Amino acid sequence: MATVKPNLDSIVAHLPGVRDAVADELDHRADRVRAVIEAHRHTGALAAHTKVRTNRTDSTVTMEDPAVFAINYGHVAANGRWVQGIHAIEAGL
């Protein structure tokens, strides 16, 4: 009869090939996010604060700008008109 180790997910997540594959996938997704950001560049602040962080088992794309929510999803401009968001986050999904 077969048995499954209770920490099998952790064992698999820490395999070098799995870690490399996760990092590669996130690099590709980060490239898509960066492409959208660059196409809609205004000041360059969002692009300068977009980072890919890789830990031991996972990776994240981080956009560290105080206005990231408004930039990504849209906002009302000072003149009252709606400004469409760039939807960079969705490009990385």
Q: What is the DSSP string of 41-64?
A: -SSSHHHHTEEEEE-SS-EEEEE-
The residue with greater pLDDT, 20 or 44, is 20
Can you tell me the mean pLDDT for 43-69? 83
Taking 80 as the threshold, does the pLDDT of residue 67 lie above it?
yes
Q: Supply φ then ψ for residue 41, to 5 degrees.
A: -65, 130
Q: What is the DSSP string of 6-26?
A: TTHHHHHHTSHHHHHHHHHHH
Can you tell me the mean pLDDT for 48-67? 82
Rounded Cα gap, residues 24 and 26, in angstroms? 5
Query: What pLDDT does residue 85 have?
Result: 93
Residue % of the chain over a pLDDT of 90: 35
